[in-house]
Structure 1
């Protein structure tokens, strides 16, 4: 591989890679340019560790003539026999290159090289990808060229690593920011923040269904159980709702102790209020079934749980609120206040799901009027509706 050709690929990495909209496109373009420049590359892999509560990292695999494979690896891979015998373990833990020629007896300690022999691979090298923050990521390079990679090929791979690392780090940092924002503020709010909506007072008016819920008897539960157990219970309890909420188009904005605030945006131009409300009700039913099925062992006993959720539809202010340089991306407004008051009524009435008159009028699915109730902060009493299928339960 001539130095001038390598220089062209380097310049493209620095200046032209941004024309690729997705990482997979960039990787495919990168590999194809290297092959065109003379590198006998048959397979390339890049593994980027992530800052994510569930995912250890993401990998991208390119093969000649095929689409780039994209995968996510969970943390349990670190305890697997496959990882223990992988060249990438040495790269991650020691930051060293690992080479495995199929004709080298020492390479038999790496099962992947034996697997690749069946596909005609003659040479393999894993090279660390070092980011400026000191973190070590990994690349792998394979060839089918008789005799394996030449000395010039290896030199070219090493020379391209620095520009590849800088570009990969920039892409990784942006993705990390997106994932952190998705994890802590939700995907819609995260997109707005990354888009520049970061100043206090940046808010939008949005029509949405508001979901407010909390766990019954949480104060007593917290008093009699160790804090670690309470946290574990809360995590399982929130899992029962978050999966259903996200699965039906909602976004969790906030966890407040045992409380959860979520919104389901309504597109006023499409006029899909009835469709959205139907999805919200289905999410509430799924959450109710999941919480009822939740059985948490504590010593010789098994804890069972109940919760309440209030559903309301209305206009909200959605955006940045806070003081100084500490902001929160949340929603406020009379509609949110009403949902919060209705959620308290669920406990008084022994109901799991209650809805405002506004929600029940949009979502006609077997509601039963529970009466009018004075609501603090509201001039008029509010009609409250419960599901006809539910039997009230009086909490002890």
Structure 2
């Protein structure tokens, strides 16, 4: 008994130290399992899983095998039928559905193999005993759909798990579950922040850049795009078709922006405000490349959607370059990390000219002047008065001839 308590205290001390140090979930699982084995628990396989808060992923899991190590798994929301069937026939689902926080099946006696495909597979690989526990979080500790953590243990020992080993796991498991939850929470915070704010802004906010009014004046290339005819589409399409269209074109355009080193700051209805680089020739070149890529990507998307009998649309885009105020702006308890300033207003005004000029892509004179050698890729469409801007501005668009010459 004293040896067991010594092992328990040592394992819990390591878990607490690792949790405070910010060790990731995979390393936590590995360290925990290895220390249980060192204490004499004959674990062959361990599995840890939990729901998570992620736009694409329903749940995450870590599977550890003695002598092999840990493997991380993600279960996507749009999962294959095979993976869905695996969950429907799983031990953890049975435990949740039947409100059973604990399950044990002695595989060497044939228990569970005819009920759960997983247990039949483990028995075929030499597993002799399977034990699983679900630890619930309190209502105040839940995050999204993460209501608890599930753990399972399998051994190949001929007589299965002994009581002393199970007591050691039971004694140390709550501490492990708390550390695992803490590591998951940090990752969830990062994912949620990056999903809703973009990577650069999320990293700044999570580093502590949250003081209202704290802004930097920097030069940025601005991308301001909008879908064409969206008001008509919103009035005529059923809700599900409208949302599908919005998401499809957002995937398309945001993918292009991110693929060219840009950062989406916000969605404005069907519009996108993004920044690319820090201004200057190199950033302008990337923005021009992104504009060309967006045009090709939307054309391909429209072709695919038309073939599937789905509604299509196009986009308009303004590219501008100038000084912006970049940082935390808003009320005392509701901030937005964004860009403001005359350059942002001008980009919006330029984009609004696309319909009247019948030019889906418009580029400011400031952007054109900052292009350097890439200036050959744009062509003037004339000078125009912009609402709220004192003087008429020369506007440009992509020179398709120059683009074709560069590609040939």
Residue 382 (structure 2) aligns with: 371
User: Does the alignment pair 1:387 with 2:395?
Assistant: no
Residue 127 (structure 1) aligns with: 133
Aligned pair partner of 1:354 in 329, 353, 362: 362
Q: 1:249 to 1:123 in 2, by over 3 A?
A: farther
Find the residue that maps to 2:170 and give its secondary structure. Answer: helix
Residue 233 (structure 1) aligns with: 245
Partners of 2:16 and 2:179 within 8 A in 1? yes
User: Does the alignment pair 1:218 with 2:230?
Assistant: yes
Residue 406 (structure 2) aligns with: none
Aligned pair partner of 1:341 in 325, 344, 349: 349
Find the residue that maps to 1:294 and give its secondary structure. Answer: helix
- The structural deviation recorded for 1:246 is 2.1
- The structural deviation recorded for 1:222 is 2.2
Superimposed CA distance per residue, residues 118-143 of structure 1 (whole angstroms, 9 cap, x where no aligned partner): 44332222221322336132112222
Aligned pair partner of 1:278 in 268, 276, 285: 285
Q: 1:70 to 1:204 in 2, by over 3 A?
A: farther
Find the residue that maps to 1:165 and give its secondary structure. Answer: helix
Residue 394 (structure 1) aligns with: none
Find the residue that maps to 1:120 and give its secondary structure. Answer: coil
Partners of 1:311 and 1:359 within 8 A in 2? yes
- The structural deviation recorded for 1:77 is 4.8
Report the more deviating stretch, 16-25 or 317-326: 16-25
Quick one: distance in 1 between partners of 2:166 and 2:34?
17
Partners of 1:206 and 1:316 within 8 A in 2? yes
Partners of 1:127 and 1:139 within 8 A in 2? yes
Residues 286-301 of structure 1: pairs in structure 2 closer than 5 A: 286-292=293-299, 293-294=301-302
Aligned pair partner of 2:338 in 330, 337, 352: 330
Q: 1:21 to 1:274 in 2, by over 3 A?
A: farther
* Equivalenced residues, count: 384
TM-score by length of 1: 0.87
Find the residue that maps to 2:192 and give its secondary structure. Answer: helix
Partners of 2:22 and 2:183 within 8 A in 1? no
Q: 1:61 to 1:385 in 2, by over 3 A?
A: same
- The structural deviation recorded for 1:49 is 0.9
Quick one: distance in 2 between partners of 1:302 and 1:12?
56
Find the residue that maps to 2:211 and give its secondary structure. Answer: coil
Aligned pair partner of 1:185 in 192, 197, 200: 197
Residue 56 (structure 1) aligns with: 58
Superimposed CA distance per residue, residues 278-323 of structure 1 (whole angstroms, 9 cap, x where no aligned partner): 333333333323333336989x975321110111233322221112
Residues 17-166 of structure 1: pairs in structure 2 closer than 5 A: 17-19=19-21, 21-77=23-79, 80-93=84-97, 94-108=99-113, 109-133=115-139, 135-166=147-178
Superimposed CA distance per residue, residues 214-266 of structure 1 (whole angstroms, 9 cap, x where no aligned partner): 11112222233344443332222212212222232222211111111112233
User: Does the alignment pair 1:176 with 2:188?
Assistant: yes
Q: Please list every run of at least 4 consecutive aligned residues from structure 1 whose deviation after the TM superposition is greater than 4 angstroms.
A: 76-79, 295-298
Partners of 2:19 and 2:183 within 8 A in 1? no
- The structural deviation recorded for 1:177 is 1.9
TM-score by length of 2: 0.85
Residue 393 (structure 1) aligns with: none
Quick one: distance in 1 between partners of 2:261 and 2:287?
8
Partners of 2:23 and 2:183 within 8 A in 1? no
- Structure 1: any 5+ residue segments left out of the alignment? 391-396
Quick one: distance in 1 between partners of 2:309 and 2:62?
47
Find the residue that maps to 1:106 and give its secondary structure. Answer: coil
Residue 261 (structure 1) aligns with: 273
Quick one: distance in 2 between partners of 1:13 and 1:180?
26
Quick one: distance in 2 between partners of 1:113 and 1:274?
61
User: Does the alignment pair 1:312 with 2:312?
Assistant: no
Quick one: distance in 2 between partners of 1:250 and 1:386?
20
- The structural deviation recorded for 1:82 is 0.9
Find the residue that maps to 1:103 and give its secondary structure. Answer: helix
